[in-house]
Amino acid sequence: MTLRLITSPPSFPRFTCHATALPPSPQISTPTSISSTSQLQSLTCALHCPHFQSCSGCTHEHNLHHPVILEDAKNFFRKYGVTDFTFDTCNLWGWRCRAKLAVRGSSTNPLIGLYEEGTHNVIDIPECKAHHPNINAAVELLRQGITELDIEPFLEDEGTGNLRYVQMAVTTHNTSLPAAKRYMSGKVQVTLVWNSRNETSAGSEKLNALANFLWKKGGPRSRLHLIHSVWANFQTSEKNIIFGNRWRHLLGERDFWEHVGGIDVSLAPSSFGQANTRAFDALLQKLQKYVPYESSVTDLYAGAGVIGLSLAAARKCRQGLMLSYRSIKCIEINKESKVSFEKTIERLPATVDSNITWHHADASK
């Protein structure tokens, strides 16, 4: 276990596949070459994850270049006049930059992963192929800390134990590195969901000890700088809700930044963020091409307002003669997201001249 922590995290081959709704160009080929190509594509576009049969996280294992839902998506967009719909898997492995994982088992044999489908039995997923490699490395570091410090995982039936869940979020925004190296060098923000009311409750000494362990072994002065920051969330509810309402920053950088859609985005651990950072960035770049200039945009379920603010930065919502109609309205039910929204606003280019507002409301009503 220790060897995995002091060496560089494993890097996955970055196979990408592409599918399009446009008809393919005519080609002359033999039946043998078609079969060979199909078999090769099926192999290279497969998940190859050892946890697939038991873990509930992924539902599609083979032919990832052509998932079952792709035809439905094509038909949906065609119905609304979008004839140039394309589908790109981006990275097949190592794409997930945000993960919420349950912590169960015992201090000597902790299980850190997802529930088996239809149950509350946690499946340990140390070699998850979807996770960014540094999430897997941070999970192994956490596992070591739980064992060495005798941290008790949560027992649902009894409501006892210390650590209920962990959230891992990777930031790949590091301007000190060449762009090509930033993704694989991402740092992990760790949120420990602790089974207590606050930081003064019983067991707080173990929380601090675990946070210090992660920072010592994975912080900037360690042999492998892996950890961006450590946060705590306090949750005692008997309901199946991961986070409580109380958050505390413990160690490392307080601000977590990512660069997507042409803007720097601030994301608190309580903020919603897309798990596939690269795919989301590609989606935003494409979305900007479809929104007409001088549009008015309402971003529902906005979170920190990433979609709306990305369009504002692309100058798609510039104020014209009718100023009140050239606006960005971000609507979000989680009031905690407003702080991230305001920090993101501060980094927008000076050329943005939209009327931008954030509203705390339930977009479903």
Residue set of the binding site: 274, 301, 332
Calculate the CA 31 to chain-centre distance.
Answer: 42
SS3 349: coil
Q: For residues 315 and 226, what is the distance between their CA atoms, to the nearest angstrom?
A: 36
How many helices (H) and strands (E) the chain has is answered by: 9, 14
Q: Kindly state the tokens that stand for 203.
A: 């067991």
Binding residues for S-adenosyl-L-methionine: 274, 301, 332
Specify whether the CB–CB gap between 311 and 288 falls below 8 A. yes
Q: Which has the closest alpha carbon to 312: 294, 290, 324?
A: 294
Buried b (16+ CB within 10 A) or exposed e, 140-155: bbbbbbbeeeebbbbe
Q: For residues 83 and 73, what is the distance between their CA atoms, to the nearest angstrom?
A: 12
Q: Which has the closest alpha carbon to 273: 344, 195, 176, 355?
A: 344
SS3 138: helix
Contacts of 45 (CB under 8 A, 6+ apart): 15, 17, 62, 63, 64, 65, 66, 89, 92
Strand partners, 257: 266
Q: For residues 148 and 287, what is the distance between their CA atoms, to the nearest angstrom?
A: 48
Q: Kindly state the tokens that stand for 14.
A: 């970055």
Contacts of 184 (CB under 8 A, 6+ apart): 11, 133
